Structure 1
Amino acid sequence: MSTDNTVEAALGALRQAISGLENAVDMRFEAERENAEVESEVKRVHADRARLAQELDQAEFRANRLEEVNREVSRRLVTAMETIRAVLDR
């Protein structure tokens, strides 16, 4: 093999190696970008979950309070009906 052929072969191998390295770097950057996007989405999901949990707690509190008020109103209605019956029965 002549010196020119050997140099050309070495340059071709070098070009291939550099191209492979560039591709590997590009793939690594893309993987990093995708990881960052996933991490960002996970943070958004956690924030949504926390917000929804807080809203659920508030809704449960309101439902419990409405239940208490409903029982009190029911008790007062029964008392009022008994009072009306007692007055009518006289």
Structure 2
Amino acid sequence: MADDTPDPSPIDAAFARLEAALTRLDAVVARRLEAEAEPDDRDAELALLDEDRARLAAALDAASAQLAAVEATTGVVGQRLDRAIQTVQGVLGRA
């Protein structure tokens, strides 16, 4: 069976290649527009990291304040213990 269709002319072949290239270009542009319309996973991950950083910074500030309060209390308790030891030593020294 012989194919009776004539070979396409160079112009027809060029138009076919141009049409295929334009179709691929349209697909690429459509994908690009979709990607820009949807939030990027990387942007979402960065937003989550920012939230975590802010939360951790607040927790660190709270822990630092609590540590300062504990250190102040420890100083007061230490002074009271020193006075109590001195008092006990004074009483034992008189006896």
Instruction: Kindly name which structure, 1 or 2, has the bigger radius of gyration based on alpha carbons.
Output: 2
Distance (Å, rounded) in 2 between the aligned partners of 1:35 and 1:88: 77
State yes or no: 1:39 paired with 2:43: yes
Give TM-score scaled by structure 1 length.
0.77
Measured after TM superposition, the shift of residue 85 of structure 1 is 1.4
Distance (Å, rounded) in 1 between the aligned partners of 2:75 and 2:56: 28
Q: Identify the residue that residue 54 of structure 1 maps to in structure 2.
A: 58
Q: Identify the residue that residue 87 of structure 1 maps to in structure 2.
A: 91
Structure 1: 5+ residue stretches without partners: none
Distance (Å, rounded) in 2 between the aligned partners of 1:79 and 1:30: 75
CA deviations on 1:46-81 (whole Å, 9 max, x unpaired) are: 101111101101110111111011111101111101
Give TM-score scaled by structure 2 length.
0.74
State yes or no: 1:22 paired with 2:55: no
Q: Identify the residue that residue 14 of structure 2 maps to in structure 1.
A: 9
Structure 2: 5+ residue stretches without partners: 1-7
Aligned-pair Cα RMSD in Å = 2.4
Distance (Å, rounded) in 2 between the aligned partners of 1:9 and 1:88: 113
Measured after TM superposition, the shift of residue 23 of structure 1 is 2.5
Identity %, equivalent residues = 29
